[in-house]
Structure 1
Amino acid sequence: MDFNNKVVIITGASSGIGAATAIEFAKQSAKVVLVGRNEEALNFNASKCEDAKGIKPLIIKAELTNDEDVKRVISATIEQFGRIDVLVNNAGVGISGSIRDGIELLDRAISTNVRPAYLLTSLATPYLVQSKGNIINVSSIAALKPIKNVEFLPYCMSKAALDQFTRCLALELGKDGVRVNSVNPGATKTNFMAACGYSKDQIDEIFKVREQSVPLLKMVKSEDVADLIIFLASDRASCITGSTYVIDSGEMLM
C-alpha cells in the first residue's frame, strides 16, 4: 500500500490510535496532517512521521469543539498541500454516566464525538470528491452493544450516531466516488480510560480482566487499529464502503 502524494488528515493525533495512524500513514509515504490539542505531543509524533520517509507533516493545534478551529484545519491543509485524499475522524472523548446524571453529559458527548466530525467532513467533502478520496470514522464497539459493568450511556449513544453517520454518508457520497467506513475498536491500550477519570490502579485491573476474558486473550493495540485504517483507506479496499469493521480480540462475542 502506497500513499505517495496522498494528503491524509488525522484528528486526535496527539496520542493513542491517532498518533499510531499518523505514523503508519507516514511510513506509506503519505503527507500527513496531525490535528490535536497537545502541541508538544503533536510535535513529538510529527518528528516520528518525518523520520519515516523524510516528508514533513503539517501540525495543526486545534480544539475541534470550536467551529473556527475546525475550519482552520481544512484551510491550512489546502494552503499547505492543495488537496485532501483521506480524512480520519478519530478525535473523541470517553464520557461515563447514566440516565440519572442529567442531560449535560450527553450534550458533551455529542458536541465532542459527533458534531466536529460532521462539520469537518462537510468542509472536506468538496476536496474528497475532487480526489475520489475516502473517510474513516473511528467509532467503538460501544456503538454496537452496551459496555458491561460500567455506565457509559452518553458515550455509547455518541458512537452509535457516528456509525449511522458513516452509513448515511457512504450512501450519499458513493455516486461521487468517495468511500466512507467505520473502524470500531474494542478495549484498546490507550489513555482512554485515564481520560474518563479512572486511576492507574483501576486501569491496570480493567486491562488485566479484559486480557484474561476476551477470546484472543489479548487487548488491541493502537498499531493494530492503525493497520486496519490504512487498509480501508487504500486502493485494496476500493469496493468497501458503508461498512463497520470491528477490531476487538473477540470482545463482541462475550
Structure 2
Amino acid sequence: MKRFSNKIALVTGGNSGIGYATARELVDEGATVIITGRRKEAIEKAAQEIGAVPFVADQANVEDTKALLKQIQQAYGPLDILFINAGITGELLPIEQMTEANFDAVMNINFRGAYFTLSQSIPLLKDGASVVILSSMVASTYHPNSSVYQASKAALNSIAKTAANELAPRKIRVNMVSPGPTQTEVMKKAGLDEATLDALYRNLTEMIPLRKIGTPEDVARLVCYLCEDSASFITGSDFVIDGGMTL
C-alpha cells in the first residue's frame, strides 16, 4: 500500500513550484489531492498533468476559501493533509518606498489568507491530521528591501506554533517548512528577468555550503515526510531546508 492511500489532501497554490511538486508526490503516493490557484487555465492544466482535482480559489479571499472547503466536505469528507503553500514575495522595495498596495497584497495572501485558510479548515480536519505551512528562511532574517515579505513569514510562524498548541488535543500536528533559495517561479513573479535571475542564482550558490540551489522536489519530499504517520511525534517545529546557508 502506498504511503497516502485513502488520504484526502488539500494543497493551496498547487499549479506551480513547491505546491505542484508536493501535490504530485502526494498523488503518486496514493492520496486524493485538491489543488487551488487563482488562474483557471493554469490550475486545470496542472491538475490534469498530475492527476489532482482543480479548484479555482484565491487564498487572499476568505469567501473563496469557504466555498472551497464546503465543496471538499460535500465531495470527499474530512481532510487528512493540509498544505498551506500559496504565497508571493511582492515588490522588493526599501521601507521608505513601500506602498500600501504592495503591503496589502503580500499580507493578504501570505499572512491573512493563510491564517483564514487554517482557521476555516480546522473543523474539516480529521483528528490526527497533518498541517504543513510553507514559511521561509527569511522569517528570521532582516535583509534590506524585503521587509514586508519577511514580516509576513515571521507572523505566519507565530500563528503556526499557536495552532500546534491549540490542536494538539486532537492529535493534529502543525509544522512549518522554511526553504532557502529554491528554483521556482516566485522570483520571476517579483519582476526579475532571466539574466538577473541567473546572476542571482550563481551568487547564491557560492553562499550555500552544499553549492546548489534547492528544487521544489527537495521541499516536497520534506513536506510529505511531515504528513506521514512516522512523523506523528513532530509538531510546532520549523524545518529549515537551505543547503546550510544559515549556518
Category of TM-score, reference length = shorter chain? over 0.9
The residue number in structure 2 matching 1:250 is 244
1:41 CA displacement: 2.5
- 1:12: how far off? 0.7
Shift in Å at residue 208 of structure 1?
Answer: 1.2
1:54 counterpart residue number: none
Q: Distance in 2 between matches of 1:207 and 1:160?
A: 24
Cα deviations across residues 195-248 of structure 1 (Å, max 9, x unaligned)? 111111111110111122210000000000000000001111100000000001
Q: Which runs of 5+ in 1 are unaligned?
A: 51-56
Equivalent residue, structure 1, for 2:178:
184
Instruction: Give the % identical residues.
Output: 35
Q: Which residue of structure 1 aligns with residue 74 of structure 2? A: 79
Opposite residue 13 of structure 1, the aligned amino acid is G
Output the CA distance in 1 between the equivalents of 2:43 and 2:224: 20
TM-score (norm 1): 0.92
Aligned-partner Cα distance in 1 for 2:239–2:183:
18
RMSD of the alignment, in Å?
1.4
User: How far apart are the structure 1 equivalents of 2:74 and 2:50?
Assistant: 20
Q: 1:197 — aligned with what?
A: 191
Match of 1:219 among 213, 216, 220: 213
Matches of residues 43-192 of structure 1 in structure 2 within 5 Å?
Answer: 43-50=44-51, 57-95=52-90, 96-102=92-98, 104=100, 105-128=102-125, 130-147=126-143, 150-192=144-186
Residue aligning to 2:234: 240
Q: Return the offset for 1:102.
A: 3.9
The 5 Å alignment of 1:12-27 reads 12-27=13-28
Deviates more, 1:32-41 or 1:173-182: 32-41
Structure 1 ranges of 4+ moved more than 3 A: none
Could you list the per-position Cα deviations for residues 148-204 of structure 1 after superposition, in whole angstroms to 9, with x for gaps in the alignment?
Answer: xx5111000000011111111101111111100000000100011111111111111
Q: Name the SS of the counterpart of 2:83 in structure 1.
A: strand
CA distance in 2, matches of 1:29, 1:38: 26
Paired residue secondary structure (1:245): strand
Deviation at 1:103, TM superposition (A): 5.4
Q: What is the alpha-carbon distance in structure 2 between the residues aligned to residue 211 and residue 44 of structure 1?
A: 32
Amino acid at match of 2:44: N
TM-score where L is the length of structure 2: 0.94
